[in-house]
Structure 1
Amino acid sequence: MPALDLYHNAVKRALIKEGWNITHDPFHLRWGRKDMYVDLGAKRLLVAERAEQKIAVEVKSFISDSEMQAFRDAIGQFAIYRSVLRRTNPDYTLYLAVRNVTYVSLFEEPIGQLLIEDEGLKLVVFDAEEEVILQWKN
């Protein structure tokens, strides 16, 4: 089992505050002989649609010495998890959870916008201190 990200519990509590039921902590994926662990799985009932929305959330802190190295690692991990999730649990949508400061620093920049568009990144932007979700970027 991998170590928890620094902001794992803050994101978990923020999701619960928004009405999400945490179903997996972590969300185990397997492809071939490779095991992977997305940080969280969650679902909630959409009353207006009488349907269930399911998400998997990979939490990233981006606190390494190299912001771009952490960015490349996160995007690569996101792409791998998304591919496996689409084949093993297609009813789940994968999100990358990032702090607001990271969103502004990387994802509002042209390189971040490029990857959001080209890679179809879905983001959960959170405030770690308040433990709240600030934005959902689809």
Structure 2
Amino acid sequence: MPARDIYHEQVKTALIREGWTITDDPYVLSFGRSNLFVDLGASKLVSAEKGNQKIAVEVKSFIGKSKINDLENALGQYTLYYDILKKTEPERQLYLAITDDAFNDVFKEPIGEVLLENKRLNLIVLDRLTGGIRQWIA
């Protein structure tokens, strides 16, 4: 099992504060002979008619020497998890959780903006100082 990101517990706590139930820590994706580990699985009752909303959350800190390298690695992992979830559990939505600092450093720059414009990924933006969720981008 891979090491946890430094913001893992903050993201987990923020999700719980917003009414999510953490169902898996980590969320195991079994596919073929491989097991992959998404940081968190969670669910939330939306309404009696709609039932539970399910998400999987991969937490990334973007604190490496190169933000672009961090982005490339996060996108590779996100794409792999996304494609497997589409086959195995299409009702579960995948999110990448990052801090507001990472969002400002990467996703407010042209390279990150193009990813958001093309709706390539879903983000949870964590306020690093308060520990709350600042923004959901889907």
Q: Find the counterpart in structure 2 of residue 86 from structure 1.
A: 86
Aligned-pair identity in percent equals 48
Asked whether 1:37 is paired with 2:20, we answer no
Residue equivalent to 1:14: 14
Matched with 1:26 is 26
The two structures, once aligned, show a CA RMSD in angstroms of 1.4
Superposition map of 1:33-112 within 5 A: 33-47=33-47, 50-112=50-112
Q: Retained in 2: the 8 A contact 1:26–1:41?
A: yes
Q: Does 1:137 align with 2:137?
A: yes
Question: Which consecutive segments of 4 or more residues in structure 1 shift more than 4 A?
Answer: none
Question: C-alpha distance in 2, partners of 1:29/1:119?
Answer: 23
Q: Distance in 2 between matches of 1:93 and 1:70?
A: 22
CA 1:47–1:102: 2 relative to 1, 3 Å:
same
Checking the alignment, whether the CA contact within 8 Å between 2:101 and 2:128 is kept in structure 1 is: no
Q: After superposition, what is the alpha-carbon deviation per residue over 1:38-72, rounded to whole angstroms, capped at 9, x for unaligned?
A: 00000101137542111000000011111111110
TM-score, with length taken from structure 1? 0.94
Which structure is richer in relative contact order (CA contacts within 8 A, separation 6 or more)? 1
The question of whether the paired residues in 1 share the 8 Å contact of 2:7 and 2:59 is answered with yes
Distance 1:11 1:112 in 2: 21
Structure 1 residue 129, shift from structure 2 partner: 3.1
Deviation at 1:116, TM superposition (A): 2.2
Q: Quickly say closer, same or farther: Cα 1:27–1:63, change in 2 above 3 A.
A: same
Contact 1:11–1:128 (Cα < 8 Å) also in 2: no
5+ residue gaps, structure 2, are: none
Amino acid at match of 2:63: I
Q: Which runs of 5+ in 1 are unaligned?
A: none
SS for the counterpart of 1:90 is coil
